[in-house]
Chain A
């Protein structure tokens, strides 16, 4: 519903040029509302002609199904300003996309936002496979049979920020060699043990050694199979990675990738100078997903930080996001006998939502309300399933990224958790 408030006309503005501009104000700092979404849409006419036409809004689900729409005729004089308050009551719990359109004489524009209604009540209609836990238990047992054969090589030429750098090589599931980099602060204290940040990669991201002046934290960045420095056996095109062996859950690439992360924790446990009870697994996007998955099946991780985790509530993602389903549909079309349902059955074992319920460590999640890859509905469903101590930071106007507020909170919470006062 629209409510026109204070349509004003200002005459004789002596300004040359100028345009029509719009401002949208959400009456909630994080875009979350209890029952009624509330916005003010302002249109300013800085042009030299009277602007007539309409302003409108369209609310859809994240799957683009129309929920609400309304419009109002407007006439804004030269130099004038129109403000339109509107409330959208009666929506079910969930996240919605909302577009605000202005279509006037000389200007057409659309502002795209999103909002949530009582998201703590969102639940997926899809369950977890009955053998989900045993599937991962067996996978870990399979990994345990592979001797890690750690090779640690110091790289003195790469040292900086008062940190030593080590290249780490190890064998993971199926005997694949994966590589990572460990950086440790230089210290004179021989008894010093470092808390560990396990940095997990985004999709097809190459992770080199990571630095920083923090004297208490060692950083271990891992390149999962088929990514960065771990492409010896799996070396596929970017779009092919996410679908590699998708027809078989026991051969799907992410099964091995998650085990690579578990192996990284094995490595941390093999190092006496690292604090085995102070491990934070952190990453964004695919790295966020890996953080959730690894922390769920490997209880040695004591803090999980997942920014914009992808692949949450996958069955509901099908009609909500382009990626990875463009690549998945393409893959299915080239595999006779393979169906979307079969793929989804396999992906149930790789659904962030299903890992979320197994998290027992402190968990921080970050998300953007207009994220087209990790939509808020899906991330929130994963978050709602977490029974451990948790915190979610929502960025109302961000897409597939998080803001500085997240990193600051993460650092403070981690330090408190690890008693690094």
Chain B
């Protein structure tokens, strides 16, 4: 029975080693949220644009050497209510500035923008590798009559997300893909938008301490209002763009991670040619 003994030991040891392989750091994807887990992610971001794509997609600099800069701070949070539902919320604040070489040389605006609150539902999985989720989000403007902060309209979004992870040798990779349809209400011009993103990430070590990811994302927004308000996508109603970004993440502990991202708008219509940098801090706290 020596053979039996060896086999059985192998079976048990293999099991214990392999149940540890889930640990990729991500948020806001198709993966379900652990019940009782609170994820808090404060982030800061920087947006810069000195040129724009016009309504036909032709790139041109802003008149009079104009430059848009925007500093943002967002508090994102999600909480696992049970194995099927998670609550999500996002509270953004921005400080926008437009400068040019003629008077008025500088125009500023700042304030809370659109609060997003939603419920994510764990829809299904395929072999516990690929996960699907559906998220409904309500958009509530926290300002009024300030076109430089947003449309000032309530809205709603339905988003389908698809995520998966897989080992690559001793390392691990994951992907998130999501597509959401968003409608702003009130008036005839409240845009309807398609917002999408696709991310591929790779862990750089077995402990998931370091990872890199690449994301392609975009928005297509349709409205009868074709005007150009500013370089910020959130302010125009009829526009589109595609953005590429790279991200590096470091996990200090199982609970604390930091992500640094940089992105560039690749193509667009009726929006600024944006460059973005962001730093996000993620803190996970388990309440059960």
Contacts and interface: CB of A to CB of B under 8 A. Distances in A.
Contacts of B14: 404, 407
B9 A205 contact: yes
- Count chain A CB atoms within 10 A of each CB in B9, B19, B127 and give the residue with the most: B19
Contacts of A415: 19, 22, 128
Contact of A202 (B9, B125, B128): B9
Contacts of B254: 215
A305 B286 contact: no
Contacts of A238: 1
B12 interface: yes
Interface string A209-229: 011111101010100000000
Given A203-B1, A404-B14, A416-B125, A214 B19 contact: yes
A373 B4 contact: yes
B168 interface: no
Contacts, number: 129
Contacts of A214: 16, 19-20
B141 interface: no
A412 B22 contact: yes
B33 interface: yes
A373 B7 CA distance: 12
Contacts of A197: 15-16, 19
B18 interface: yes
Interface residues of B, number: 39
B288 A285 contact: no
A421 B81 CA distance: 13
A285 B11 contact: yes
Contacts of A202: 4-5, 7-9, 11-12
Nearest to B206: A213
Nearest to A324: B1
B32 interface: yes
Contacts of B129: 412
B117 to A, nearest CB: 21
A286 interface: yes
A250 to B, nearest CB: 26
B103 interface: no
Contacts of B17: 212, 407
Contact of B13 (A210, A215, A416): A210
B15 A305 contact: yes
Nearest to B12: A199
Contacts of B128: 409, 412-413, 415-416
B224 interface: no
A211 B12 CA distance: 11
B83 interface: yes
B111 interface: no
B57 interface: no
B35 interface: yes
A125 interface: no
A86 interface: no
Contact of B11 (A217, A402, A408, A411): A402
A409 B127 contact: yes
A411 B34 contact: no
Contacts of A210: 12-13, 16
B239 interface: no
Nearest to A323: B1
Interface string A382-421: 0000000000000000001110100111111111100111
A-B complex: 4 closest residue pairs judged by Cβ atoms: A202-B8, A284-B11, A412-B128, A411-B19
20 contacts: A197-B15, A197-B16, A202-B5, A202-B7, A202-B12, A210-B12, A282-B15, A283-B8, A284-B10, A285-B8, A285-B11, A401-B7, A401-B10, A404-B14, A407-B17, A411-B15, A411-B19, A411-B22, A421-B34, A421-B37
Interface of B: 1, 3-5, 7-22, 31-35, 37, 80, 82-83, 125, 127-129, 167, 207, 254, 286-288
